[in-house]
Amino acid sequence: MPDHTLVVIGGDAAGMSAASRVRRTQSDRPIIVFEKGRHTSYAACGMPYYIAGEISTSGKLIARTPEEFREKHAIDARTGHEVTAINTGAKTVTVHNLATGETFDQPYGDLLIATGASPIRPPIDGINTPGVFSLSSLQSGIDVWNWLDGRKPRNAVVVGGGYIGLEMAEAFLRRGLRTTLIDMASQVMTTMDADMAGLIPPFMREAGVEVRLEEKLVGFTSNDDGEIESVITDKGPIAADVVVMGLGVKPNARLAEQAGIALGAGGAIHVNQRMETSAPNVWAAGDCAESLHRISGRQVAIALGTIANKHGVVAGTNISGGNAMFPGVLGTAITKFNELEIARTGLSEREARELGMDVNTAMIKSRTRSGYYPGSDRITVKLTADADTGRLLGGQIVGMPGSGKRIDTVATAIMANLTAHDLAFADLSYAPPFSPVWDPVQTAARQLLK
């Protein structure tokens, strides 16, 4: 009789979403989750705010512990277990128990690979110096917090100006550190257009962050105790008692590749819209798997918790005998630096033009509330649309509190294939404490119509 066990590799968003979905529909099915780290189902996106001291304990970032999964949901979640090989022919995985050193083979009926992604750490001198961190697992966030609490550093350097970079620069400022952010690019937030990203560094500098663009990381030096002392760039040394690397992530797809499973965009595991891989009864979900981009029609690798959870729901539905399709992504994302909110969705103008699209764009400055209402503040919106049809292709927002979540209106419009005209005349809500009579995203859409 064939083994009916569902084996999941990876115990965070995608893996546990899928396991929980299967459990709800198949109450008696054996489910085993192997997680090489110490924690399951944690909010990785909350780590910078925990490090900043805004969240009192790391435990608040954990949705469910391994014990809860075992005792309340009959999901055998085993932390400290690393899967080292997949045998698709024999339908087994090789597992190494990190605590005991034991290695064993576990048969599966279905296998879900949800191994996530790893921070990019370039092979440069001193990259492994104590005090140089990358954020990935919850434990990595705890390690940074412990370093700050134990060492009481004065100088922090953040390498990379993406989401993690901005959030960690804010965290270090809140902890009272002199903070420098470096990036070899000519702008922060390279997922945005330069005209929108250019609004961010002045705000950061005013808050006290030294932002140094077009500056390349070369290496690190250590002190007499072997701990981080400085960051070396092509423009000289920067004093550093703690460093966080924020250079992006790469999919953890090596296990799949070694098993002969096809890879796709960005080195992620190739999947169809049911989250099936090229191997029978093997599925993939989360940051290790690719997604279909709804506008370009191309496969992409985008590491976001929102996508990982949806991947997991689709995979779990299909593993348990349902029929679900993942509809694709726009890359909608939001972050902030202090009060400045930053959001984007769809294609930027640069991305659209690189795809050979003929586009129109509009960039407007407006207010978050009616101008006469207390608390009204600045917001900048940029929209990109197809030049022939007016179909919305992308949006970007930078502004003060109340700005960022407006990106969801733009994302919904794009998902629904609306045009700039449709958005401009959509029946959105209005009252002075919330918006001008023409919401800023509608003002941008009206500008597109001109």
Q: Which are the catalytic amino acids?
A: 45
Question: Of 393, 375, 374, 398, which is closest to residue 383 (Cα–Cα)?
Answer: 393
Spatial separation of the C-alpha atoms in residues 31 and 6, rounded to whole Å = 5
Half-sphere exposure of 58 (CA within 13 A, CB side): 19
As a whole number of Å, the CA-based R_g of the chain is 23
Please report, as a single letter, which amino acid is at residue 76: D
- Please work out, in degrees rounded to the nearest 5, the angle formed at the alpha carbon of residue 21 by the alpha carbons of 15 and 23: 100
Q: Which helix (H) or strand (E) holds 73?
A: helix 66-73
Phi, psi of 298 (to 5 degrees): -100, 160
Tokens of 428: 């959105």
Tokens (6 digits) for 257 = 């590749």
Q: What is the chain's percent helix, strand, coil content, to nearest 5?
A: 30, 30, 40
**Residue 67 CB contacts under 8 Å (≥ 6 apart), including other chains:** none
Kindly state the tokens that stand for 56. 């009192």
Residue 375, C-beta contacts closer than 8 angstroms, at least 6 positions apart: 368, 369, 433
C-alpha to C-alpha distance for 212 and 448, rounded to whole angstroms: 34
Q: Using alpha carbons, select from 296, 260, 292, 254 the residue that is nearest to residue 275.
A: 292
